[in-house]
Structure 1
Amino acid sequence: MSDSNPPSPEATEQPVKAGCVVKAFIIALPLGLAFMVPLSLWIYYQKKYAPQEAASHLAPMLQRELNAVDMDRYVQGFVQGIGDRSLANPDGLNAAGNYVESTMGFANMGYNIQRQEFEAGGQTVANLLAELPGKKAKKDTVLVLADYDAADASGIASMMSVAHAMVGTNHNRTIHFAAVAQGDAAEAKANGMEVLAQKFAETGITVAKVVLFRPPLKSTPAAWQDAEFIPLAVELKDLTPTALDMLQRLKKAVENAADK
């Protein structure tokens, strides 16, 4: 005679319930994945193509007073840290572009850097733009130009210093600080200035004034024929009495262009 007791109803129900839970999970898992995948893709593309701020809301906190130390650090970064930044040295040219983008970007100066990539000499190069929104319509802009691939790095270093000092400030016109590659190339589609002019024209941006932190353009893009050009080559070469005085004159020229 067996002394074992028959299982209670509760004991027999537990495995059945557990089995139902497992089956429900197995059925729900693919349904959940089928829902989550398109949702994740939707979120990704919403973020990717959403309009981005021209500058960080923390930009005023990132503003830095003009100083010759920063400018010299930028010059040394280009000349000694990177070296040759021509098409003959693609690694150096790319490194210079990355240096501009990271230094002027959200984390350091607060700008949202726009890249304009194009082909030159069989390789991909890029213009880099930092936008300082103005009070008036964005379509009427002041364009500040400097070459980041020129042997003389004083122009691009000065522009970066001025951009850092002006981040978060308010002016009548929008200001675009443009670090350009291949600005004197003979072929239009490989010329950074021509590419920049074309991109602006495509988006309906009218350039009212062009402030040159570089030598005069060898040829002026047709879209900029009516713009006022403000050459600053004299200021860039004049280091007396101090480099800081030079930077202050450059900054004042940009402010006047944006406010008058």
Structure 2
Amino acid sequence: MSIGKEVVRVTWFKVDDGFYRNPKSAVLSDTATSLWLRAATWSCDLLTDGFVPEKMLPMFRSPQDAAQELCDAGLWEKTEGGWRFHDWFDYQPSAEEVEELKQKRKEAGRRGAMARWQNDGKPIANAMANAKQTDGKVHGKPIAKSCPVSVSVPVSNSYELDSVADARPEVMELCTHLADLIAANGSKRPTIGKQWLDSARLMLDTDHRTPTEAHHLIDWCQHDEFWIPNILSMPKFRKQYDTLRLQAGRSHPRSKAQQNQDANEQMVRRYAEDARQARQAEQLRLGA
């Protein structure tokens, strides 16, 4: 994910390069292998420590037989409400370790932003001091003309972006998606700042747009010859949303398959939010 100052993912699912020939995995069906991989990346993303709820199987497009196949192979273990990856913590970091690393990176980003801001302020302070000493002039000319000072104003910093990404991942995802497509169309990749984030948030919370619909509309406008050069920011996208929606509806009616995909994506987001709230509740309980 690249947003202004690049934000690096904290978690990656680690797979041994001998997976294809391991006695446990080599005999798996394609369906079971797909389930194992999808569930593993999902668990890393949502920090469930290798736990896979039964209700997630439809989302992974996998039958119960595939889950049983993984249990029979010794890759999964049945537990209350779902399954667990065998020996998860031997190869993957725990949710606690990931959260600790994220906090360290946020703090490092915050300190870096503060240092940059302080450094950027030094030329201004020096210029003001010089102005006082020379009565506001250099060689008889106003100091503003003789010694121009460039002022650097940070639009955003990694700490703020990380905070939004954690609290409102759907807001960050929409901003990143639009910025990526704008760059893919040949324009300079825009910086995701406060105006972008506020516009995306208001679009969802105040305008009551769904993340899935907005995502598809971004796709449409960034493939339309007229709108490609006219939608180059999230504030502009929000302003033109209804016009874009009506034009996209006339030119590309939504198929049944697309509607099913939208429903699946919404279900995934609900599960992600449930998992996030469960983690917060558990952290509060342990802290108490």
Normalising TM by the smaller chain, what interval? under 0.3
TM-score (norm 1): 0.25
TM-score (norm 2): 0.23
More strand by share: 1
Q: Which has the larger radius of gyration?
A: 1
